[in-house]
Amino acid sequence: MKIPFFDWSGLYAERASEFDEITSSTLRRGGFIMQSDVDSFEAQLADYVGAKHAVALSDGTNAILLGLRASNLEPGDEILITSHSFIAAPQSIYHAGFKPVPVELSMDDWLMDVEKLEERLSPRTKAIMPVHVNGRVCQMEKILEFAKKHNLLVFEDAAQAMGAKYDNICAGNFGLWGTYSFYPSKTLGSFGDAGALVTNSKDVYDKVKSMRNHGADDQKMIPLDIDHWGTNCRMDNVHAAILNYKLGYYDEVISRRRQIAAAYHNCLSSIDGVSLPPAPSITSRNFDIYQNFEFCTRRRDALRDLLSKNGVGTIVQWGGFALHHLENLVAPTNLPLTDKFFKTSLLLPLNHIMSDEQVDYVCSLLKQFYED
């Protein structure tokens, strides 16, 4: 059986006729840029996550960049960010004129270790950016308490956590603003690059909405007395139309992902030398959506080899590099737990279009490997 890490063509084949009709209908009426589909998606997204405002953007990276530019920080200000993160967030921090400061991960959930924030503080620290990796929300109660104590802003990179919750609050809706990615392989994915920013701040909303379109106002005109220069990072209208439709069955997608994660967890939970993410639970403070199923095993490379030989694709997230390894982007930092994690971590295939037979096949290979 062949099971790629992500079935790109299957993403379209899942509901091909519906996607064809949405696309052709949008194109026939000339709905290309900044049309009603974008307005509708912004309203639906804000309602889904419980935010006052949402701005549809070209991608998740630009969502972070514009959010930073709208946050009234000063050049050189430092932002604390977990080292277990994709490069988009620290790169955006750098391009906005600020300094990313990587923080150790927690061995409880492999997200930002709140207990290690204090040691990374400096007089230039002005914000914290928790990154909700793999569809799980960071320990936001403690992060918000720390931020309040030290007078820090909180920004959320929720690219991998659209719909994930902590204390029944959606990722992206804790800090000044939060961002999402709708890259095709995300839990809510379009057929190309797309992203969004959500906020409860009218000031941030107005700035980001203007900056995505060269600084134009609601009448799409460039004012002569422009307050903040923008760029071109609008969400394409066809992507908005697709995302509008997908949001309608997104809860089903999340439910299926949680089922698959539970199957993997049950398969691996009794094996020595394996560390797992928290299992799906309805009683936990966290409601996880499982953008990925990332676990740790001392025999990672041998396991990857067996799975590959039997047609199953796996990934070592971000090529096995943490942010603090990027010494041309961040200052050299000693984060031993993060180093250890990246030497043993592995992603199994997990998406809602996988069949039960495919999940069972992956589990059978995992059992075969650990029983030998």
For the stretch 150-194, pLDDT in tens is: 999 999 999 999 999 999 999 999 999 999 999 999 999 999 999
Same domain, 286 and 335: yes
Structural domain contains residue 160: yes
End-to-end Cα, the chain, rounded Å? 21
Q: For residue 306, give both structure tokens.
A: 């067996």
- Is there a contact between 333 and 365 (Cβ–Cβ < 8 Å)? no
Same domain, 235 and 266: no
Structural domain contains residue 3: no
Select from 247, 274, 298 the last residue of a domain. 247
Q: Looking at residue 323, what is its pLDDT?
A: 92
CATH at residue 30: 3.40.640.10
Domain that holds residue 355: 250-371
Same domain, 99 and 133: yes
Query: Taking 80 as the threshold, does the pLDDT of residue 222 lie above it?
Result: no
Number of domains in the chain: 2
User: Please, which pLDDT band fits residue 82 given cuts at 50, 70 and 90?
Assistant: very high
pTM: predicted TM-score of the whole model, two decimal places: 0.96
Same domain, 309 and 349: yes
Mean pLDDT, residues 274-284? 91
Same domain, 210 and 297: no
Same domain, 81 and 150: yes
Same domain, 62 and 92: yes
Beta carbons within 8 Å of 325's beta carbon, 6+ residues apart: none
Please state which of the ranges 123-127, 230-234, 326-330 shows the lowest mean pLDDT: 326-330
Same domain, 90 and 156: yes
- Is there a contact between 70 and 64 (Cβ–Cβ < 8 Å)? no
Same domain, 125 and 46: yes
Same domain, 32 and 134: yes
Q: Looking at residue 225, what is its pLDDT?
A: 64
- Is there a contact between 345 and 295 (Cβ–Cβ < 8 Å)? yes
What Rg do the C-alpha atoms of the chain give, in angstroms? 21
CATH at residue 312: 3.90.1150.10
**Of 311, 313, 277, 322, nearest in space to 297 by CA:** 277
- Report the alpha-carbon distance of residue 315 to residue 282 in Å, rounded: 28
User: Please, which pLDDT band fits residue 224 given cuts at 50, 70 and 90?
Assistant: low
User: Please, which pLDDT band fits residue 220 given cuts at 50, 70 and 90?
Assistant: low
Helix ranges restricted to H, the chain: 8-13, 16-28, 36-49, 60-69, 88-95, 140-149, 202-211, 237-247, 250-268, 300-309, 336-344, 356-371
Same domain, 271 and 337: yes
List beta partners, residue 166. 169, 286
Q: Looking at residue 218, what is its pLDDT?
A: 67
Same domain, 314 and 359: yes
If you search the block for the tokens 């999402």, which residue do you land on? 180
